[in-house]
């Protein structure tokens, strides 16, 4: 078991014990939000780890997530371009200078987003933003 997972389990256990039933609700809600931001059908580079996420719900729903991938920005860019133009996702634009890929959901074009790729040596930071109107 990775050290990050052990820390997350310890924090979740503390939350449940420290907050009683309310803590359990918070932990369950956290897990559900993490699983849906981004959703299971969103492409993920093999070996990447989700490092953060946030979900804002209002007149629009916004999902922001970050991943760290153990690969060069070129390899991750090629993968994401291919995967964001397959299945229910459609690549609608790229900005190579900014490392940005813009996409939308084919089945619901009001769901749009951007992936920004930032090279960090032999690792790549993947920033994802998905907005549903």
Q: What is the CATH number of the domain that holds 54?
A: 3.30.530.20
One domain for residues 15 and 62 = no
Q: Are residues 67 and 52 in the same domain?
A: yes
Domain residues for the domain of 66 are 42-132
Statement to judge: residues 73 and 15 lie in one domain: no
Domain shared by 30 and 6, yes or no: yes
pLDDT score at 7: 38
Task: Return the pLDDT at 2.
Answer: 42
Each residue's pLDDT, cut to its tens digit, for the chain (133 residues) gives 444 433 343 334 444 444 455 444 434 444 555 557 898 999 999 999 999 999 999 999 999 999 999 999 999 999 999 999 999 999 999 998 899 999 999 999 999 999 999 998 899 999 999 999 9
At 37 the pLDDT is 87
Q: Are residues 73 and 11 in the same domain?
A: no
**Is there a single domain that holds both residue 88 and residue 122?**
yes
Residues 80 and 101 both lie in one domain: yes
Own/partner contacts of 88-95, CB < 8 Å, gap of 24 or more, are 88/41, 89/41, 89/42, 89/43
Instruction: Read off φ and ψ for residue 121, nearest 5 degrees.
Output: 70, -125
- Residues 72, 115, single domain; the answer is yes
Q: How many domains does the chain have?
A: 2
If you write DSSP's letter for every residue of 18-37 in order, what string do you get? HHTHHHHHHHHHHHHHHHHS
Specify the pLDDT at position 34.
Answer: 53
Residues 55 and 22 in one domain: no
Q: What is the pLDDT, as a whole number, of residue 36?
A: 74
> What per-residue confidence (pLDDT) applies to 5?
39
> What is residue 3's predicted lDDT score, i.e. its pLDDT?
42
């Amino acid at each position: 078991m990775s050290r990050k997972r052990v820390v997350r389990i310890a924090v979740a256990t503390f939350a449940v014990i420290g907050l009683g039933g309310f803590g359990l609700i918070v932990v369950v809600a956290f897990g559900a939000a993490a699983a849906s931001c981004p959703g299971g059908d969103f492409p993920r580079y093999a070996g990447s780890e989700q490092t953060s996420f946030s979900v804002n719900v209002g007149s629009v729903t916004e999902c922001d997530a970050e991943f760290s991938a153990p690969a060069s920005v070129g390899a991750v860019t090629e993968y994401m371009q291919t995967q964001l133009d397959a299945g229910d996702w459609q690549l609608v634009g790229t900005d190579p200078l900014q490392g940005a890929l813009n996409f939308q959901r084919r089945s619901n074009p009001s769901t749009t987003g951007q992936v920004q790729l930032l090279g960090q040596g032999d690792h790549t930071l993947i920033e994802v933003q998905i907005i549903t109107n």
